Amino acid sequence: MLSQRPLPALFAMTLLCGSLVAASVADACTRLVYLGENGQVVTARSMDWKLDVGTNLWVLPRGIARNGEAGPNSAEWTAKYGSVVATGYDVATTDGMNEAGLVANVLWLVESEYPEYDGTTPGLSISLWAQYVLDNFATVEEAVTALAAEPFTLVTDSVPGEERLATLHLSISDATGDSAIVEYIGGKQVIHHSRDYQVMTNSPTFEEQLALNEYWKQIGGTVMLPGTNRAADRFARASFYVNAIPKTDNAAETLASVFGVIRNTSVPYGITTPDQPNISSTRWRTVADHKRKLYFFESALAPNVFWVDLNGLDFSQGAKVMKLDLGPNQSNSFAGMANDAFKEAEPFQFLGL
């Protein structure tokens, strides 16, 4: 017998059906934030995509001048912080951590609707959304304050090689454990800001995900958890496990636990779902240790986890841009700390109008 009253059945079923419809047209990813003892904060994410997403790792120093790649009235800024980023197709930042310990991730959200861009306000291409945050802010509080003032209009574009528009939402986490989710719903920016917002997946919108998760909380994760690869089910599993794993200050145990959770919410390589054709295999995972400034990378097609130590990188103004070539399908193998495997490279060009 359940000890707590469940959500009204009609409400729960309405949300659940909504999530099924949304999942049928959405690519899948998961992001979670672990909060441990003595300042242990670790953010993990999976990248699930139907094709090779063309990811490489890049070291981007501070002092780089950028513009929003949205036409004549693009937003302009100079990077205050250096960062390590994982790209999509080497035309967009999909994930990364800056030298202040701030992490940004973009995930698919089919319900996203961005405002119409008429060129009268500063524009920012969606390919730079995560990079804008990594370049400019040290904490979630700083980022949320700035984004709430809407300093730019976010402009989307087609996914490389496809005819559909990129529909993304953004998660931000920092070394204090603070967290925020930024979405565009009905053409309006919506910011969810709380240390409690540890998990983000895909459809439905974050507000509806929270409601669905309340249903599973009342059942209890030790009794039953949903096991499919749908976004709502991955949200429920990640939310339970990220708080069920030990709250320790042991770095090795912390990382082992977090890797266990993000792997638990991943989609096995080669898996397809016939009635949900765009639910996709996990291509890679990242785990960012905010306290130690370590950025771990795990490819589904490589045998080893490796990491980048941000403490040992040159982020100074004028330093060289560096690239770690991960190869087709991120199949190049690296092990241990990979700082020395980066090679000097010309900066990649962000996709824009």
- Structure tokens given for 163: 């005819």
- CA 149 vs. chain centroid, Å, equals 22
Reported as half-sphere exposure (CB side, CA atoms, 13 A), residue 70 has a value of 25
Residue 324 CB contacts under 8 Å (≥ 6 apart), including other chains: 56, 57, 58, 308, 334, 338, 341, 342, 343
CB 206 within 8 A of CB 111: no
Q: How many CB atoms lie under 10 A from the CB of residue 317? A: 11
Quote the strand ranges of 137-178, DSSP E: 153-155, 168-173
SS3 45: strand
Going 326 to 95 to 304 to 341, the CA torsion angle's sign is positive
Q: How far is CA 95 from CA 24, 37, 44, 271, 314, in A?
A: 24, 25, 10, 23, 20
- Report the C-alpha gap between 94 and 137 in whole angstroms: 17
Q: Give catalytic residue positions.
A: 29
Chain position carrying tokens 């800024």: 77
- Report the C-alpha gap between 163 and 21 in whole angstroms: 21
234 closest CA partner among 257, 205, 263: 263
228 closest CA partner among 5, 10, 28, 2: 28
